Amino acid sequence: MKAFAPDRIRNVALVGPPGSGKTSLAEAMLFRAGALSRVGRVEDGSTVCDHEPEEKEIGHSLTTALAVLEWQGHKINLLDTPGAFDFAGEAVGAMAVADLAVFVVDASSGLDHATVDLWRQAASRSLPRLLFVNKLDREYTSFETVLADLQETFGAGVAPLEIPIGVAEGFHGIADLLTDTAWIYDSGHAELGEIPEEMEECEARIHDALVENIVVADDALLERYLDGDIPSVEELERVMGRGVAAGTVFPVVCGSATIPIAVDRLCNYIVEVGPSPLDRPPVTITVGTTETPLTPDPDADPLIQVFKTAVDPYLGHVSYFRVLTGSIRRDIHLTNSRTGDDERLRAIMTLQGGDSVEVDALLAGDIGAVAKLAATLTGDSLSGAGRAQAPPIVFPTPVMSTAVTARSRTDEDKLANALHRIVEEDPVLRVHRDEATRQTLLSGLGESHLRSVISKLERKFGVTVDTEDVRVAYRETITGPATAEGKYKKQSGGHGQFGVASIRIEPVLPGAGFEFVDEVRGGVIPRQYIPAVEAGIRDAMDHGCGSGYPVVDIRATVFDGRHHSVDSSEMSFKMAGRLAFQEAFAKGSPVVLEPVIAVEVTVPAECLGDVMGDLSSRRATVQGSILGDWGEQVVSATVPESEMLRYAIDLRSITGGRGRFSAVHDHYSRVPPGVKVPEPPER
């Protein structure tokens, strides 16, 4: 494939809920462009974009796939994204490098909450948007109803460019509102036809409203229109294209991906009114402390940003990138702005799903891939001059965790490396070792996300793991002062052990941690053994005393003791300190503490009552709610962590998938009477 100039490139993210037909639409577009000789089917696992084994098995996209087609002398980079929230990180990465988001709406099910959430994300990035109403060949579909919902939800900028001819199985063409013409389809091929007589009045009315809405965006065009001069289609498309690029006009086109009908017209609109990289605002890059706006100039110093990393069984690590400026050719050397390392891009590729095609060069604005970069991760910038840093890609924060353990000794040897590599592939994932609970935690966006990762561990890395519930890191403390003497004496012939330490313990402010005070006078405990007493106390605190959980927020003072000139040692005073602390702790009215997290829950207004009631049942302290963007309610609360381990699943059930939340550790609080605390894990 030849290199395309920036004005001839269209970077398009296909977004929408699961089942809306994004992958089928990508397949139909590739076929109509001649990039495929036959059309694959999602149900058969034969599409270009669903190339992972898990995707073929379940019939849904789990990762973003790149596919390329040429249309009217332009290159269209299609980014087919998964629709499920559990894989939202893939859609975020795609929208970060796209110049246009095509929202695929299922006409048979109407506007979906996932579409609204994705629209919100695109709007926050000022990403131009176009809507494709799909599946109009299905029963019980109404384009008028879907269009009304889109306009009510997304505002007056939603502008229909087409209306369907025929309903359900009778759907066989579209009326072009810009040209007042009809296109009739037979076996996927279009012929110019007549608008049905019964549609003429409706089509004319919508046509006039569309033209009026377009010309108001251009003063000169509006003046001519008011004088009776009807603008040409090319003029209307040019003005509309500026509105699309500015994010004020959102064209609506329609069709069916599986017949297919009007897929070719979608490609036309992407080329004619969709923005090129040159139509988008400059990217602000950072070099040191200096910020500089950057345009996609093929002759400038090269700069690329990696937006996705995948592990290919044959190619190894594959980094998907966008060329922000300059030109990228094989064997070019670039500098990673994060690490400062030199990276050699040995072979530049474009992708058709899981298949790679080597290219000689990619110019500014284009999207491609490269294999086997040494230390480059998703989000990294690679530059040819200096250490230029593109704006970071902000991925969703994990909201659900599971504990993983290797099933066998062989798996255990490979697990750490496999987890490290899979985190490189998925920037949303988090893996960390919780020393308090002695668990390795894998955190993601939901149950499906984590299940997919565990499947990949076995398929890609040959590691089989078992999962278990996440343990809560409880703590213990005391509520009153106490004093005790610890005596360690051992005589077994020859050198013995002897040490006595008297300590006083008292509670300190929550979060203050541990404080050790030395008040020994007169040398009753030699100076060199005082640290051993502290070590014994710390050891007792780490291992727990009452319920067996680690002890926190205590001041321990050693004030008296005894020693023996021959038998005393560090070991004897460490044991004395430990014994003294254990006895004093039991006298200090101990209590168990539980971690409490601060949460923000964002839900539709109609779900507020149910969500508040559910939080109350989880022992939450609700601090209030405020009106957020898009008319949603944002609830702030503090909740015991033990009550929130599966909240991601429960919240989706309560809100029909429309709720989301974030959580951070806030503080520790006493476990109230009547709440059962589980036994700590064995050490």
Question: Residue 173 falls within a domain, yes or no?
Answer: yes
Question: Residue 680 falls within a domain, yes or no?
Answer: no
DSSP H or E segment with residue 503:
strand 497-507
Which of 468, 490, 510 is the last residue in one of the domains? 468
Report the CATH number at residue 424. 3.30.70.870
Question: Residue 683 falls within a domain, yes or no?
Answer: no
Lowest mean pLDDT among 91-95, 212-216, 326-330, 364-368: 212-216
Question: Residue 388 falls within a domain, yes or no?
Answer: no
At 494 the pLDDT is 64
pLDDT of 320 above 70: yes
Distance, in Å, from the CA atom of 50 to the CA atom of 416, rounded to the nearest integer, reads 28
Mean pLDDT, the chain, whole residue set: 92
Report the CATH number at residue 528. 3.30.230.10
Distance, in Å, from the CA atom of 96 to the CA atom of 308, rounded to the nearest integer, reads 10
pLDDT of 60 above 90: no
Contact 278, 349 (CB under 8 A): no
| Same domain membership, residue 322 and residue 195 | no
Q: Which residues contact 586 (CB under 8 A, 6 or more apart)?
A: 482, 545, 546
| Same domain membership, residue 219 and residue 112 | yes
At 11 the pLDDT is 98
| Same domain membership, residue 288 and residue 275 | no
Distance, in Å, from the CA atom of 83 to the CA atom of 126, rounded to the nearest integer, reads 20
| Same domain membership, residue 437 and residue 302 | no
| Same domain membership, residue 25 and residue 156 | yes
Distance, in Å, from the CA atom of 204 to the CA atom of 521, rounded to the nearest integer, reads 100
Over the stretch 488-498, which tens digit does the pLDDT of each residue have? 998 766 678 99
Residue with tokens 């608008």: 195
Which of 383, 413, 444 is the last residue in one of the domains? 383
| Same domain membership, residue 310 and residue 185 | no
Over the stretch 299-318, which tens digit does the pLDDT of each residue have? 999 999 999 999 877 778 89
Q: Is 170 exposed, middle or buried (0-12, 13-18, 19+ CB in 10 A)?
A: exposed
Give alpha helix (H) positions in 15-101: 22-32, 53-58, 88-97
| Same domain membership, residue 291 and residue 231 | no
Domain that holds residue 136: 8-279
Report the CATH number at residue 371. 2.40.30.10
| Same domain membership, residue 258 and residue 169 | yes
Q: Which residues contact 243 (CB under 8 A, 6 or more apart)?
A: 157, 214, 217, 249
Mean pLDDT of 399-428: 90
Mean pLDDT of 420-431: 90
Question: Residue 161 falls within a domain, yes or no?
Answer: yes
Question: Residue 339 falls within a domain, yes or no?
Answer: yes
| Same domain membership, residue 235 and residue 125 | yes
Mean pLDDT of 358-379: 94
Q: Which residues contact 174 (CB under 8 A, 6 or more apart)?
A: 162, 163, 164, 165, 182, 183, 253, 254, 255, 261, 262, 265
Could you tell me the pLDDT band of residue 323, with boundaries at 50, 70 and 90?
Answer: very high
pLDDT of 188 above 80: no
Mean pLDDT of 672-676: 90
Q: Which of 5, 4, 1, 8 is nearest to 272 (CA)?
A: 8
Which of 588, 618, 646 is the last residue in one of the domains? 588
Q: Which residues contact 170 (CB under 8 A, 6 or more apart)?
A: none
For residue 67, the 8-state DSSP code is: E
Q: In what order do the strands lie in the sheet with 65-71?
A: 65-71, 74-80, 9-15, 100-106, 129-134, 250-254, 158-160
Could you tell me the pLDDT band of residue 521, with boundaries at 50, 70 and 90?
Answer: very high
Determine how many CB atoms are found less than 10 A away from the CB of residue 670.
13
Over the stretch 240-279, which tens digit does the pLDDT of each residue have? 999 999 998 999 999 999 999 999 999 999 999 999 999 9
Mean pLDDT of 537-542: 94
Question: Residue 396 falls within a domain, yes or no?
Answer: no
| Same domain membership, residue 138 and residue 23 | yes
At 681 the pLDDT is 76
Task: Please tell me which residue, 386 or 14, carries the higher pLDDT value.
Answer: 14
Q: What percent of the chain has pLDDT over 70?
A: 99
Task: Please tell me which residue, 133 or 235, carries the higher pLDDT value.
Answer: 133
Question: Residue 3 falls within a domain, yes or no?
Answer: no
List Cα–Cα distances, 493 to 433, 496, 497, 571, in angstroms: 45, 7, 11, 17
Report the CATH number at residue 180. 3.40.50.300
Over the stretch 637-673, which tens digit does the pLDDT of each residue have? 999 999 999 999 999 999 988 899 999 999 999 999 9
Mean pLDDT of 220-228: 85
Over the stretch 567-603, which tens digit does the pLDDT of each residue have? 889 999 999 999 999 999 999 999 999 999 999 999 9
Q: Is 611 exposed, middle or buried (0-12, 13-18, 19+ CB in 10 A)?
A: buried
| Same domain membership, residue 158 and residue 100 | yes
At 492 the pLDDT is 67
Domain count, the chain: 5
Could you tell me the pLDDT band of residue 326, with boundaries at 50, 70 and 90?
Answer: very high
At 683 the pLDDT is 62
List Cα–Cα distances, 161 to 32, 224, 247, 350, in angstroms: 21, 22, 16, 32
Q: What are phi and psi of 17, to 5 degrees?
A: -70, 165
pTM for the model:
0.88
pLDDT of 387 above 90: no
At 167 the pLDDT is 93
DSSP H or E segment with residue 598:
strand 590-603
| Same domain membership, residue 264 and residue 200 | yes
